[in-house]
């Protein structure tokens, strides 16, 4: 069995205690973090190794972005790819137990869903196009793609598909591109596949909400996909909603998938 957890931590140093606590509570074999906001020299590698996670791969820059993979088991063939013509620390991958795990932090895209007036939105679209070209050219096998993809592709992934239709993360063009990436890359959405097409699923709740749980205006921005040869290996999936209620939490919660391999 291989349990993989993905979590946009929104600063690994600020929330190191939450990370160590979540590792103990969830007991994953692999924890993939996004938005670590720590350059490599400041990543808390020693503290995480002391907590039992000596196998690490991380890539970061000061104050922004950053991705990391923490593992109970040895990691091999660590790779770091750049996307959309930038070197902004949004991807890292490694092999564990013969499975290639790609950890992504896709750009949020700003507030205006128009690339002509919002360069950030254009960057996001180009990033997804790059992923589609990369994985579509040679459909991966024995692979996992996960992370904060910053798009909620289905109506059941948002609190109101009507009200969010023109809001970045749920616009038609973003949804179409993400679903195209799944199709052309030969991926299977392991979380959605586990819960079914109608289940309302969220992994992110805005800090702006006075009471995030009462309003429950969430979005499923965090994903775990598997290559289609691993589709039948998905044994369990879970979105850890209580993590949003921790003291000084990330606005994202961990998402886990267990593979029977």
Domain 2-259 adopts which CATH fold?
Answer: Deoxyribonuclease I; Chain A (3.60.10)
Between the CA of residue 11 and those of 65, 205, 217, what are the distances in Å? 9, 17, 23
Whole-number Å distance between alpha carbons of 175 and 172: 5
**Vertex 35 angle, CA 249 and 31, to 5°:** 80
When computed from its CA atoms, the radius of gyration of the chain, rounded to whole angstroms, is: 17
Domain ranges for the chain: 2-259
Residue 85 pLDDT grade (very low, low, confident, very high; cuts 50, 70, 90): very high
| Report field, pTM of the whole predicted structure over 0.95 | yes
Give tens-digit pLDDT for 109-149. 999 999 999 999 999 999 999 999 999 988 899 999 999 99
Give tens-digit pLDDT for 9-25. 999 999 999 999 999 99
Q: Is the confidence at residue 175, as pLDDT, over 90?
A: yes
pLDDT of residue 139: 85
Q: Is the backbone of residue 109 left (phi > 0), alpha (psi -120 to 50) or beta?
A: left
Reduced to 3 states (helix: H, G, I; strand: E, B; else coil), residue 215 is helix
pLDDT of residue 172: 98
């Amino acid at each position: 069995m291989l349990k993989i957890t993905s979590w946009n931590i929104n600063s690994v140093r600020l929330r190191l205690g939450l990370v160590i606590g979540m590792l103990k509570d969830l007991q994953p074999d692999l924890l993939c973090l996004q938005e670590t906001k720590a350059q490599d020299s400041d990543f808390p590698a020693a503290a995480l190794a002391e907590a039992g996670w000596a196998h690490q791969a991380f890539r970061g820059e000061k104050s922004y972005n950053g991705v990391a993979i923490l593992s109970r088991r040895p990691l091999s063939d660590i790779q770091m790819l750049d996307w959309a013509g930038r070197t902004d620390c949004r991807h890292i991958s490694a092999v564990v137990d013969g499975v290639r795990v790609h950890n992504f932090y896709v750009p949020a895209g700003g507030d205006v869903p128009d690339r002509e007036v919002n360069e950030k939105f254009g960057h996001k679209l180009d990033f997804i196009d790059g992923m589609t070209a990369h994985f579509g050219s040679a459909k991966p096998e024995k692979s996992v793609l996960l992370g904060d993809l910053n798009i909620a592709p289905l109506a059941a992934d948002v609190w109101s598909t009507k009200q969010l239709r023109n809001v970045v993360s749920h616009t038609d063009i973003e949804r179409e591109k993400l679903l195209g990436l799944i199709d052309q890359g030969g991926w299977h959405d392991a979380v959605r596949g586990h819960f079914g097409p109608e289940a309302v699923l969220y992994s992110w709740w805005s800090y702006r909400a006075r009471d995030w749980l009462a309003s429950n205006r969430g979005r499923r921005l965090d994903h775990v996909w598997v290559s289609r040869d691993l589709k039948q290996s998905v044994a369990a999936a879970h979105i850890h909603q209580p993590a949003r209620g921790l003291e000084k939490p990330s606005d994202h919660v961990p998402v886990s998938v267990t593979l029977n391999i």
